[in-house]
Every structure is written in structure tokens, then in C-alpha cells.
Structure 1
Amino acid sequence: MTATRSARLIQLRDAADLTMEEVGEAIGMSRQTIYRYESDNKSKIRRSVLEKLAKVYKTTPEFIESGQHPRPNTPGPNDTVAFIDTSTLKFIELPFIIPAAYGSFLNSCHDRNFGDFDTISIIKQPGADYKGAVVLEVRGNSMAPRYPDRSCHVVRPVSDGNWQHALGVHAISLRSEMFLIKRIVSNLNGMLKLRSDSNGEEMEIQLGDINCMWKVGEATFMPAED
């Protein structure tokens, strides 16, 4: 079972394909409040708010709070809301790469032998490919606010035959042993332009400089705001 309420809220929102703003509008709260719920596992959520969140995510307040929920009573003839039993959600164990393990992770990126790393359990998203995927803890705030320091995200390997098509946020290991998490904003004629979300700073690298590349995907943890 996924470890914390915050992680479940993030994964349920990702599964529903909703932004924080959209969830906030649906339950009559601000984006900042949704962010606090998803980043601070000790944040108090009123029962009435839990019920609204459960309705948006088609689950139960009990599942949000504890990862478990009772099965519903047999629907009555006047019931209009369909119940989706989230107890049927599937979980997957993925290698968990913290900053202290970046070196070992990068050294093994070609054979993708990550058996010596700790693992973390996350909700398996329907249709998602987890072959070779890991959960990576972000170091630094160059990609804040969406990818802030200490946030954790599923990253999926990109084969070298597809590097020339890559756009969006990627984790990139360079042959110089530098490790970057940046947004690829341009990818033309063997040259990639990378941008930091936090300050807009840009840099360029050549495809030939890349050692390994991963597409940064869904969040599994977001830290509390300072």
C-alpha cells in the first residue's frame, strides 16, 4: 500500500488527469490548499473536504486517509453516482534513487541493473509502461515549482535512438559525469536547448554528449512549502 496520504492524493489526482487548480475549483478551495494537502502529510483535512475529494477522485474518504476503505452497500434504485472500488488499484515496486545514490545509478544506466537500490511502492497507472522505470528524488530547485527539491517522480528510460525526438522535462546523464534535470525546449540538428523552469536560464548540449536519458513523469511525492 502506498505509504502516505499525501502520496495517495498525488497519485489519485494524476490518475484523474487533473491539475491542482481543477481540483481546487471542483471542491471550492485554492490551489495552495490542494498543494498543502499533497505536500504535508500532517495537514488536517476536514471530513467534509475528504468527502468532496473522494467524490472528485471516485474513491472513499477512508482510502484517502488510510489506503483502505469499506466496500459500499448495494446501490439503491435512486443512486445516481457510480462507485469505483479503488481497493482494486494495483501497486508496483520501483527502485528508489536518492541524491546520495546518483553516482551508482548513473554508472549502471546502460545495463539498468538497479537491484541494489531500495524500492518504493506506487500506484500502477493503467496503460503506463514501467519497464526500466525508477523513482528519482530531485535535488535542487532549478525546476521549481513543479519539480522542487526533494520531490520524487517516476522517470522512464529513453532509448538512444529516440534522443533526437525528445522534448519536455528529462533527466540527462552526460559523458562528462554531469547529471541534469531540465526542460528540453528545442531539439534540432543534433543540438538540444535546455531550460531551467525556476529562472529561465538556458544551456545547449549535443546529442553526442549524452550518456543516458530519462523522461520525467508523474510525481509520487511533493515536499511541504517552506
Structure 2
Amino acid sequence: MSDPDGRFAAPPNSEGPRSERLFNAPVAVVLIALSMPVLFFFQRQLPDMGAAMAFAPIDLQNGRWGGLFTAMLLHGSWTHALMNAIGALAFGAPVARLFGDRIGPTVFLLFYIGCGVVAALGYGLVHWGSTEAMVGASGAVFGLIGAATRLMGGRGRVLSLFDRRVIGASIAWMAVNAVTGLIGYAPGADGARIAWEAHAFGFIAGLLVIGPLGRAFGKGPLPMGTSARPESDV
């Protein structure tokens, strides 16, 4: 229908473009975010502060693979745990919404864990043979950041890997990550070495994998009347 001036007007019950709801994150994201401070509370009760579950590159040579999974359950301080929780909440929400509510939570959880494993594995390969342990969910969270980078501005669709917005944001994230690693300071690090290489591997994993996962498990096109760029072939 049209208004008195002859311009098109949407029907009363039609839906316009939807914006992201800041304080209505999917349950899977909220649970992951809450798990970080909760697990750190119990970690502090352990005699070794969870050191036995940390990951060190030397583990790969010795055939110990469990740390690739368990290291992301540990943190070095309350600040470390809370910052990762906030990051997971902020950047995990658009990723989880892409996958929907049916099998979406399972896909989201596997994606999150997969990014964390790739991050730790990449760190282990770069520092092959090192005995310096690594803990934290930062690699998995950077995977969410990488995925969200291809969703921001896409209105529910995955932007092309070569979209200028994706390229610009990726360069900015990796520059900040590299500078932080070289300076050796980040909130919650408490003087410990920052595993910025793990962050980079997690980010790249999320950036690449969200494309095929979005095609396989995404909720589909937006309602009519919204605009978005075509989904990536990458």
C-alpha cells in the first residue's frame, strides 16, 4: 500500500530490518560465558591450581593431547576469566544466532571447542618442544571474534572473506593482537607471557570455518525487505 504522498508503506504487521539485541544473548553463549568464572572458582580449590590440565607444546611430542581441550577450561586470574567471559558473550551472540535454536547450540559449542583446539595446537607447533604451559579460553574466544567479523554488517548472513570490511577488521584485530603480544601486557595477564600466537590461530580458524558452517547450518535468508550481501563462497 502507499501513504497519502504516494510513497510505499509496509503493511502494519510486516517486519522491518532486525537489529541485534544487546541483552538477549542465546542460552548456549550465556552458559559458556558463565562457565568461565565458575570453573575458575573450582580451579582455585585444586592443589595445583589446575596445572595438570594445562597445555604445553612438549605434550605434542609426548603424545599427550588432552591439554588441547582442558587448557581452555582454565584461567590465570579472575580478570583473565572475566575478560574472556565478556568476549564470549559479546562475540558469541551473533555466531550462535546464525545457527538457530534447533541443532544450533550443538554446532555453536563444537565450533567454539574446535577453535580453542586449533588455537592451542597452533601455539604448540610454533613453540615446538617448549615446556611453558598455556591456559585460557582466549583462543576459542578469538575464534568467535573471527566468525563475528564476517557477520557484522551482514544482517544475519556471512560476508565474503574478501569483503573490504572483513579484511579491514581482520587486519585491525591481528595488529592489536601482535602489538599486545610484543609489548607483553594485557589485563589479567599478571606478568605471564601472552600466547598471542594462539589468539591468531583461533581467529583464523573462526574466520575461515564460519563460511562453510554458515552455509550448512545457517538459518537461511532474512525476511523480505531486508538487505544483505550474498553469502560467501569461501
Q: Flag whether TM exceeds 0.5 (same fold).
A: no
Higher strand share: 1
Output the TM-score relative to the length of structure 1. Answer: 0.23
